Structure 1
């Protein structure tokens, strides 16, 4: 397992620095209002997931970003004054008091972690300065060390793992978390079998996270809730460990000689056999002294005197077994051990700016399932699109649902319709929008100018968002892309062209996220559901 000390020992950020990081996003009112409301829903969902997992620093950043986006930016968007805009903005604004309450409750713990780290490392600052300069000279290393998701926390330390190296563990953890959510939602086995994949919530279960009044009442004891959540996770881990077979190693002991004792001497309760101990609990009353038999012969022989106490020098030396014969001590299960620490996956890749991005796990068979659904459109030379929805677990994103929205398709474009139905489905089923997939029935596999502007709407608040392009009639037949940042994302955000297809003045606008070194990891073991929102034909 690779060393994780570089991340565990990295300086945590203060709440002021976390707030500054929360403000690091590109606001552009030229992006359609629906993309911004979708992004706001996604980051609010992310914040609650990080809060539930005990990743307080990242929860603070994400929820603070939600507040800034909704209060300072969305209300000033040109479309916010339309009837549709006011309707979409109302539920986002209603969460603000609860989010602010959460942020205030998180501050003391974050500041304590920051102050404790500063106090512990104050004496090491001078000696470590030169080493840090050598090991952290690249911008990638500096940004990764300041990733809020990897911040050291005194109350909830984490094991930082590489998702690509621990692929099976990552998928297994995701399955367990999805199963836990499904169990909480109370879905029947028939419903679970129908949906095939885990991690879906009914409306009653979703309201546990989305009902602001209920959450506001609970925020008076948020810190206690976090502690109880951590304790529950530890107890569950202990229960799991008890069900597994464990090998114990005991030290070798010299065979002792039989114990001799006087049969007339009364035995202690610990020396008696079980039956004798049971009889000793209920004893008959003693007879009167007059009835004792005095005809017993008197004892005339005295026991031999004990041997003279030997001198200390005559005693044999105490037995000191060789250390190599002793078995290793079993690990202690104290708080803060590796067994009880939460797991967080480190960044899978980095943007061109050096900012870290989380791993995205993609089911290997999803692309073929989508092409089969799009076959009818492909035969008619019509594009088709789907939405990649997923679950956030341990700082990694797992695509667990292929959602087919209502859409209007042409030979060169595909526009989603009825955004509210799509968002409602994601909220109800506890899903994040991780990206999209679409076909090019008449063109090769590339990102058109129209695709680039659509991708900017996905990627502006979730840099891990991906676009999968399928070109069934050309080679290569598919690709997984993201905008570069910089120069791609800022260039597209600054582009004011209104025509459907137009040229851009720079190269290197997008890159392949599925190639080695990218942040997308395909998995054969990751299950997913397919849900079609289009009207029945």
Structure 2
């Protein structure tokens, strides 16, 4: 971005910028296929959640990244032809047509928002920026990072209250619990247009009839290959359009089906009505006898109602209105039930005749990587570690390592660990290697879970990240920078720690390391750091619940 863009702070990104950002990730075929498959499943889940929350730019970015990873990279991985890899790849490929349809639906909204921003004057931009929930100009570091973060970039199509999670931890957990409860009650449905669950059967929706097309899970390879080639060509055309090319073969769909977004945890208020005729019939009280004096021209015009007085007109009065006194009837308003000031919607902007949309809550990044990229806050149930140690007790007594996978979801731009999954694994005194990854991926797909990190024991060693641990963590963190590694060393102090790779130098150095022995030295220091609060981005919560799923045979 240029200096002008940074000074604007929250200028919305256009489709070209989002596409370039989506393609900007470090592909490394030396990382095992199972880690890349996990990453693809994770970013797909993130995209669906961002759709639900109405964060259109972030949804577009991660869904485009998902399609790029599956279509261009996973199929070329050295392990792609192995049986387990094929089983893990097929459900990801079946999601491509739906993702392409979502991208085509979101792009017009992104372009429209950007075009409207470019059409307004500099003075109007200053007026809009004056109401942004960003820190003051003195916080130039945050403003610079926020300008490059689609999750925080300004969009008057979907405004947000941006909060600091450090000061609102209880609120973040409460919102997450309510949202996760809502999702469970919805039985996997996330929206009328976009939320059809992809577990046993996957498909799309017929645009003409609105009926769901189910794609059998046992689709043969030839049919799947033809479908993949068609969607690849469609993605190529979408990319050309995002770059601004004049492609005569590209035909913009005549009708776009915008997502029916269910807000994650919106501030509750009634949408203001226009100052004209109210919507729907409204019973009027009988005209009081002293109202006739309104017909006489007053010496001075009555004062303009303020915002709160205008908002009070949203709801009809409960019971009869009070009898007016000497004031003109135009200023008599029904009783008003008090609400927090932040829940009152703003009067529609003069730049847009439509009423102001509901504001969603978004938590700002909990920190930044060494390269300046934002990392979202992660909430960890405080009792999860103790439960894991009980499950690993038998292995610990025998001197064998054991691992678990930390899964959860994202709500309001924060990550919440809600599941501890114990995968099938092969354990030794120094390593634990997961097996039969497709079973764990199926579990994550069925339960709409993303992989946020992992936890493992050091039964005979201290609490640190070994060279083998560093390479494993790189597989988690390459596509999700917030991913964490929890190490438990029950026989030593400290008995546990939460870590992440630095970036740089940690992540790029590990990704470029070609040594294959279990334990080896690295020539670079400062490869990983503590990730727990307050210096890190992980917050423990006693109020956060979690489930355990043990996928090991016989458990």
Q: TM-score range by the shorter chain?
A: 0.7 to 0.9
Note if 1:168 corresponds to 2:170: yes
- 5+ residue gaps, structure 1, are 1-5, 188-198, 240-268, 272-311
- 5+ residue gaps, structure 2, are 1-5, 130-134, 213-252, 271-284, 288-297, 300-324, 339-343, 350-354
The range that moved more, 514-523 or 337-346, is 337-346
Report what 1:119 is aligned to. 119
- Residue 381 of structure 1 contacts residue 411 of structure 1 at CA under 8 Å; is this kept in 2? yes
Q: Distance in 2 between matches of 1:329 and 1:369?
A: 46
Higher helix share: 1
Instruction: Report Cα offsets for 1:187-224 as digits up to 9, x if no partner.
Output: 9xxxxxxxxxxx9xxxx973389723348868989965
- Residue 358 of structure 1 contacts residue 395 of structure 1 at CA under 8 Å; is this kept in 2? yes
Note if 1:451 corresponds to 2:453: no
Report what 2:147 is aligned to. 145
Note if 1:373 corresponds to 2:391: yes
Instruction: Report Cα offsets for 1:68-111 as digits up to 9, x if no partner.
Output: 11112112211123333333323322322221221111111111
Report what 2:229 is aligned to. none
Q: Distance in 2 between matches of 1:487 and 1:210?
A: 43
Q: 2:451 aligns with which of 426, 433, 441?
A: 433
1:487-506 matches, cutoff 5 A: 487-506=505-524
Report what 1:159 is aligned to. 161
C-alpha displacement of 1:430: 1.2
- Residue 425 of structure 2 contacts residue 434 of structure 2 at CA under 8 Å; is this kept in 1? yes
Q: What's the secondary structure of 2:166's corresponding residue?
A: coil
- Residue 445 of structure 1 contacts residue 470 of structure 1 at CA under 8 Å; is this kept in 2? yes
Report what 2:261 is aligned to. 229
Q: Distance in 2 between matches of 1:233 and 1:448?
A: 40
Report what 1:536 is aligned to. 554
Q: Distance in 2 between matches of 1:237 and 1:18?
A: 31
Report what 1:402 is aligned to. 420
Alpha-carbon spacing, 1:224–1:100, altered in 2? closer, same or farther (3 Å): closer
Report what 2:18 is aligned to. 18
Q: Distance in 2 between matches of 1:162 and 1:137?
A: 17
C-alpha displacement of 1:319: 6.9
Alpha-carbon spacing, 1:495–1:222, altered in 2? closer, same or farther (3 Å): farther
Report what 1:277 is aligned to. none
C-alpha displacement of 1:150: 1.0
C-alpha displacement of 1:237: 3.9
Note if 1:77 corresponds to 2:77: yes
Q: Distance in 2 between matches of 1:22 and 1:494?
A: 22
Q: 1:211 aligns with which of 198, 202, 207?
A: 202
| TM-score (normalizing by structure 2) | 0.71
Alpha-carbon spacing, 1:438–1:412, altered in 2? closer, same or farther (3 Å): same
Rg (Cα) greater in structure:
1
| TM-score (normalizing by structure 1) | 0.73
Alpha-carbon spacing, 1:62–1:511, altered in 2? closer, same or farther (3 Å): same
- Residue 363 of structure 1 contacts residue 524 of structure 1 at CA under 8 Å; is this kept in 2? yes
Report what 1:516 is aligned to. 534
Q: Distance in 2 between matches of 1:106 and 1:414?
A: 42
Q: What's the secondary structure of 2:426's corresponding residue?
A: strand
Report what 2:89 is aligned to. 89
- Residue 48 of structure 1 contacts residue 209 of structure 1 at CA under 8 Å; is this kept in 2? no
- Residue 362 of structure 1 contacts residue 520 of structure 1 at CA under 8 Å; is this kept in 2? yes
Q: What's the secondary structure of 1:481's corresponding residue?
A: strand
Q: Distance in 2 between matches of 1:502 and 1:149?
A: 39
Q: What's the secondary structure of 1:438's corresponding residue?
A: strand
Q: What's the secondary structure of 1:173's corresponding residue?
A: helix
1:196-345 matches, cutoff 5 A: 206-207=197-198, 211-214=202-205, 224-226=257-259, 228-229=260-261, 237=268, 331=344, 340-345=358-363
